[in-house]
Chains A and B, each alone.
Chain A
């Protein structure tokens, strides 16, 4: 066991765990952040996805010792000032989820995708989301929601004049 310092959704935490512990278990069991979920423990399905330094990261296979000090964002941290992220709103507008268990991974992976590619083509969406699995098969609506959100995101970044790094 060792003390590990984490920054999650803007808050600092210190946890006393084995440094090899996958980040997922600490987020879920110590910080009670239940957005990321266990799906495979192998980094294959994406249900556990969080965002670290702009990258969608599979927290089920990421040892906690390797994310010390990094800013970690979970699904719970996407909304700003009580306003849902455009992707979350698009997910509601499109009524995307069936059971919803995988949707954390879908939304977080889409977030990382749109942050890099605000106006993705259909092919870029398929490729970017390829290894994020849904067993209810809501893929068709997920892709529609990403397109819907990308319009909001592109418009917002255009209006604010912010640079987009592709």
Chain B
């Protein structure tokens, strides 16, 4: 155990960690001066500490993005361990005290990382039972355990608590496993039927401190001697710094330094408002690039369709799509367009770095805190065990902090200045320069036979995703790019194919990537935006399935169910589970079977309903919506949404419900509002007026989540817990487009469905 970890465990009293350890800065200050070696995941003590008062703290290498994963970790571990939930606490994502599970991403917290957590908790229970056996003098088989008390089954007066057995001591139990995901002891996991805490809904432990103002977030990190920094970003994409006129900020009070390297500029001041003033006042001479860095957002799709491919993946082929289309009675073809969409976090990038003791401690909301540690060490060429990241809560943007620009900048500036530095981006920087979800142009073709059966489906997506940013890479975060670092082989990027289980005799699914002219130092740098590529691919495929259903004069739900019934079974029972979620959604929605569109009425408000479905990894979702389209203004209001959701074993139903609700509305925001706008020099959507988002007024009147378990054997003892953080976002663009079509008879093939776009489409169709 490292010095800091020991101190941490000693100083983190149960009450403190019970509320929020991540928000308690006191532990992070004045701790051992390092070094900070990796925590050994093959030691049980690295994961679980039990105290004499019969309380436990779990140390896990994940971060909670506000989806209640910390609460869920406590539930699964407490359940395996047979401890009461409320006697446990959870510490997450601090690189020097928690094992490296990579932080968060990919909705894998429970699906993947939950298993080593369960196994180590089960192992702790096994070890405790052996200790109790020795203490009580009876074999393990004759012991009973409940609420962290072990007793002799035949004589419950003979008992001993976990705290009495191990409190204040180490387990010293070695674990095995080639990697952290494989970490295990020798104990077996419980059958899911034995769980008592899993499946119940304890309230999220992080919420009280978030509503009474007591939580300390990464934005609140403050240590003695700390100073404030702000960036001066290039006013044009691809601009080159020619000169800085430092005399322009001479009069700014509190100015400490103007720092620049390559095209990176920051000002550092004693006070925050001074740094903001200095950044605004600093005169910089920039040179525009010789060629335009990108087309305008209006010309983007024309550009993409005409661009040379930078990469393609071999298409997925079933049957012969060309032959089937030639033989089809009816052929449809359409182009779908999805613009760049930003992460646009409610709180701009921020971090604080403290260079005291010749170490570097970074206080950060980076969802992948371990990667930030590694990336910063490489970027600044300092040993990895001299860097630690203290993970604290932050504004979520679901993927933005995986390329944590501010963390790198704070670390760089702290090293330059030799004092703790806090940096925060301004709104216009964040909205213009955050990482973007790639734009997609998708061409789809389909063929129906004379009976209206779908016989051919041809999907061809291209994404503007070249040089896609990875996780906290020392040579791709923005500061590194601005300083002139370039990797020889930019990441290829990717497009995506639809995820459904339709049985179609002939299909071809192709995907490729194109590049914009400027690939470095560009505000159109792509990164993983919540459910990377899923909404784009699903918009095209699930809208087009609807087009085909309409062409076949079939009810869109029945059309889908027929395709699913024509499909073959697969692992994870996804076909059966797909049918189950669609059926459950239809029952709750009271779906009225008929072909779309509805006959357009004469009033100002046109109403319609739609359906869309998909899966992500093993989680399956079907959504239905009722929309109102205002014929005069073009405004779309989604009045009612039903979501049927199957993520296998549910750990905390009430939290899941809220995650699905909020994720669904996030998908709605991307369907209705979100789009990155740019001219040929810069991003022009830079604040909440020019980059609108969903608001309270858009909120549906009714939003119903149906938790489905469509497993053919829902009672199986090993029913898995799948990820639930992203699937519900995927169908939303298609869902709303389908409902608008039903209401108006007009098919919108480009998102977002902003008023002006909808109104123009209605007018040109004479609706």
Contacts and interface: CB of A to CB of B under 8 A. Distances in A.
A97 B211 contact: yes
Given A42-B688, A140-B703, A143-B696, A91 B211 contact: yes
A139 B699 contact: yes
Interface in A92-119: 92, 95-104, 107
Contacts of B207: 91-92, 95-97, 100
B658 A95 contact: yes
Interface stretch (A17-25, A51-59, A156-164): A17-25
Top 8 closest pairs, chain A to chain B, by CB: A99-B66, A35-B213, A100-B210, A137-B665, A101-B395, A99-B396, A75-B213, A98-B66
A37 B219 contact: yes
B699 A140 contact: yes
Interface string A45-87: 1010000000000000000000000000011101100001000
B235 to A, nearest CB: 18
B344 interface: yes
A56 to B, nearest CB: 14
Interface stretch (B114-122, B345-353, B744-752): B345-353
Contacts of A132: 696
- Chain A at the B interface: mostly helix, strand, loop or mixed? loop
A25 B697 CA distance: 30
Interface in B245-291: 253, 271-273, 276
Contact of B346 (A92, A125, A131, A134): A134
A101 B665 contact: no
A92 B699 contact: no
Interface string B385-407: 00000000111110000000000
Given A17-B271, A139-B698, 14 more contacts: A34-B219, A38-B348, A39-B346, A39-B395, A44-B688, A76-B212, A98-B396, A99-B65, A99-B394, A100-B66, A107-B211, A126-B697, A133-B346, A142-B696
B484 interface: no
23 contacts: A32-B222, A37-B219, A38-B347, A39-B427, A40-B687, A41-B427, A44-B689, A45-B688, A84-B211, A84-B212, A99-B346, A99-B394, A100-B215, A100-B393, A101-B346, A101-B347, A101-B396, A125-B696, A135-B346, A136-B666, A138-B662, A139-B694, A139-B695
Interface in B204-229: 204, 206-208, 210-217, 219-220, 222
A130 interface: yes
A37 B687 contact: no
Contacts of A129: 696
A137 B694 contact: yes
A31 B344 CA distance: 29
A56 B64 CA distance: 30
Contacts of A88: 211-212
A121 interface: no
B366 interface: no
Nearest to A30: B271
A141 interface: yes
Given A42-B688, A47-B347, A126-B696, A101 B217 contact: yes
B213 A33 contact: yes
Interface of B: 65-67, 203-204, 206-208, 210-217, 219-220, 222, 253, 271-273, 276, 344-348, 393-397, 424, 426-427, 654-655, 658-659, 661-666, 668-669, 687-689, 693-701, 703
B695 A133 contact: yes
A139 B664 CA distance: 11
B688 A41 contact: no
A102 B697 CA distance: 17
B605 to A, nearest CB: 16
A103 B273 contact: no
A142 B699 CA distance: 10
Contacts of A28: 220, 272
A42 to B, nearest CB: 6
A136 B272 CA distance: 27
Contacts of A35: 213
Contacts of B669: 137
Given A34-B220, A130-B697, A136-B662, A25 B272 contact: yes
A146 to B, nearest CB: 10
A39 B347 contact: yes
Contacts of A18: 253, 273
Contacts of A74: 213
A135 B273 contact: no
Contacts of A79: 212
Nearest to B276: A41
Given A101-B217, A139-B665, A29 B654 contact: no
Contacts of A142: 696
B273 A25 contact: yes
Which of the listed residues B211, B215, B669, B689 has the most CB atoms from chain A within 10 Å of its own CB? B211
Contacts of A166: none
B667 to A, nearest CB: 9
A63 to B, nearest CB: 10
A125 B695 CA distance: 12
B219 A130 contact: no
B427 A92 contact: no
B273 A22 contact: yes
Nearest to B654: A95
A45 B345 CA distance: 11
A165 interface: no
A81 to B, nearest CB: 13
Contacts of B695: 130-131, 133, 139
A151 to B, nearest CB: 18
B67 to A, nearest CB: 7
A140 B665 contact: yes
A37 to B, nearest CB: 6
A1 B394 CA distance: 32
B270 to A, nearest CB: 10
A29 B602 CA distance: 58
A84 B214 CA distance: 12
B393 A99 contact: yes
A75 B687 contact: no
Contacts of B698: 139
A98 B348 CA distance: 17
Interface centre among B208, B397, B426, B696 (most CB of A within 10 A): B696
Contacts of A40: 427, 687-688
A141 B348 CA distance: 24
The CB with the most chain A CB atoms within 10 A, among B66, B212, B219, B693, is that of B212
B424 A138 contact: no
B253 A137 contact: no
A50 B430 CA distance: 24
Contacts of B210: 97, 100, 103
Contacts of B67: 98
Contacts of A92: 203, 207-208, 211
A132 B655 CA distance: 23
Contact of A42 (B206, B214, B272, B687): B687
